[in-house]
Structure formats: structure tokens, C-alpha cells
Amino acid sequence: MKTKQILKWTARILGGIAIIFFLTFAIGEGVPDMMEEDNGQLRSIMLLFAFATLGYVFGWFREREGGVFMMVAGFLLGADMYYYGGTNDIMAVLVYSLPFIVPGILFFLVGKKEIKD
């Protein structure tokens, strides 16, 4: 298997696992909590998660652009968690940002012209 195909499928699998994990979290915790109270952090996380999901779907067809979407969403999710949690919550920053940054980087690398098939 060629390097580009390995990177592409690794990005798709890792991104899919991240999306499924956060989707189950959103369905189980996010949606019921949004119905009960006005929670600004939860709304921002859900919006950024939707942005990351859009990047993942876009990454299947346009790898470079989808990778940029996922990386930006990952960085913004990490910044959001850092803003609300501070330096005491660095693990939450990593848990929320890395599952989208890593596949985003891989999608971006697949979309570059320099990688040979």
C-alpha cells in the first residue's frame, strides 16, 4: 500500500473514532443538558464539534481543506477548554483537541502535492 493511501485511511479511521466518541458524548450528555439550562461552554463545544465533524466529512473528498477545518476546530476546542478550565485542566485541553488535530494534520499531508502515490 502506498504512503498516501496509508495516511488517508489512518486519518479517516482516527477521525471517525473521534467523531463517534464525541457524538456519543453529545447525545448522552450535551443535548439533555442544553435542554435544561443555559450553558455557554456546552454550546460553544457543541458548535466547535459540529465544525470538526464538517471538516471530517469534507476531508473524505477534499483532504487538504478538511484537514484545515479539523485542525482549526481542534485548536479552538483546546482553547475553549483552556479558557474555561485554566492551567489546572491541561488534560481536558489535550483530550478535546488532539483527536481532531492529529487526523487534521494527516488529512492535510495527504492533500499536499509533494507526497507521491
Per-residue pLDDT at 114: 57
Contacts of 48 (CB under 8 A, 6+ apart): 73, 76, 77, 80
Give the count of domains, the chain: 1
Per-residue pLDDT at 91: 84
pLDDT band, residue 117 (cuts 50/70/90): low
Q: How far is CA 36 from CA 42, 84, 109, in A?
A: 12, 20, 42
Please state, in angstroms and rounded to a whole number, the distance separating the CA atoms of residues 39 and 70.
24
pLDDT tens sequence across 7-26: 889 999 999 999 998 888 77
Instruction: Report the range out of 6-10, 26-30, 42-46, 92-96 with the highest average pLDDT.
Output: 6-10
Q: Is the dihedral of CA 33, 39, 42, 47 positive or negative?
A: positive
- N- to C-terminal Cα distance for the chain? 9
- What is the phi/psi pair of residue 62, to 5°? -130, 90
Please state, in angstroms and rounded to a whole number, the distance separating the CA atoms of residues 11 and 14.
5
Considering the domain boundaries, does residue 117 fall inside one?
Answer: no
pLDDT tens sequence across 48-105: 888 888 989 998 988 889 999 999 999 998 888 888 776 677 888 888 889 999 999 9
Q: Which domain holds residue 80?
A: 3-111
pLDDT reading at 36 higher than 80: no
